Structure formats: structure tokens, C-alpha cells
Amino acid sequence: MRWFRRERPSRHEAKTNTATPLPRQTPQEMLDDWLRSLTLLGEGKSLEDTFALIAEVNHSGTHRVPIRTPLPEDDARALNDILAWYHTARDRQAKINLLVESLLIRWLAEATGHTWSEVVQDLAKYINTAMPPESKPE
């Protein structure tokens, strides 16, 4: 999988940036993704299958970064390496967080006699009421 791709415009192309803007999730969208992830963790599938399903339903993916100025090959490689490292680190962090969260939810469900779904639903209600109103995009 390639994280960085250097593009050069043809001499007939306008030199404007037509790249698709990177998505910016609102706090509510981030919360919704997280709650979907917690719900999927409660389905009892293997962690590998669960993580793949979470990536699918939360629309994770990669984004192209067009660079239209001459960029030395070493700099392009450095950008590619740091973006790949960052993605790997964030992916591992998210998986560890979900694993810990799933253990905490399971323990809370067992201790209170509630189901996994009830714990996640109560958590969602509480967080939705405790979240500050979303600020408008800049």
C-alpha cells in the first residue's frame, strides 16, 4: 500500500490544487464511530474480524496527497515513511484502546448484571448529554 504519491501536472493542466479536502469529523461523528466500534466488539467475533468490520463501517482509509512542486526523491521517501509510521502507530493505538475498552465494558456488565448492549447504550446516553455543543467549522 502506498501512502504518498508524487504527481506532476502536464504542461496543459492548470496549476490549481484540485485535491479532495481531507474529511473533518465533528465530535459527534467521532463519538458515533467509537460507539459503533464498541457495539461491534460486543458481538463476540475474533478481534481480527472485529477490527476489519470496524474499519469497514467507520469508513477508514487512506488519502492521496498531491504534491505539484519538484520534490527531491529523498524528501518524498521521508514523507512516505513518516506517514506510514504515523498510520501504523495510530492503528495500533486504536486497537489497544478498543481492547482495553472491551475488557472494561465486559467487567462492568458482569459486575452490574447488565448486558453489553445496555452498558454501551447507557454510556452513549451519558456521553451525548455531557458533550458540549459542537463548534462551527472554521
- Tell me what pLDDT residue 106 has: 92
Question: From first to last of its 138 residues, what are the pLDDT tens digits of the chain?
Answer: 444 444 444 444 444 455 567 677 788 888 888 888 888 888 888 888 888 888 887 776 666 767 777 788 888 888 889 988 988 888 888 888 888 998 999 999 999 999 999 999 999 998 888 877 764 344
Give one word for 113, left, alpha or beta, with left for phi > 0 and alpha for psi -120 to 50. left
- Tell me what pLDDT residue 4 has: 43
- Tell me what pLDDT residue 18 has: 56
| Cβ atoms 105, 35 nearer than 8 A | no
- Domain locations along the chain: 27-130
pTM: 0.62
- H-helix or E-strand containing 129? helix 116-130
Query: Which three cell numbers mark 100?
Result: 482495553
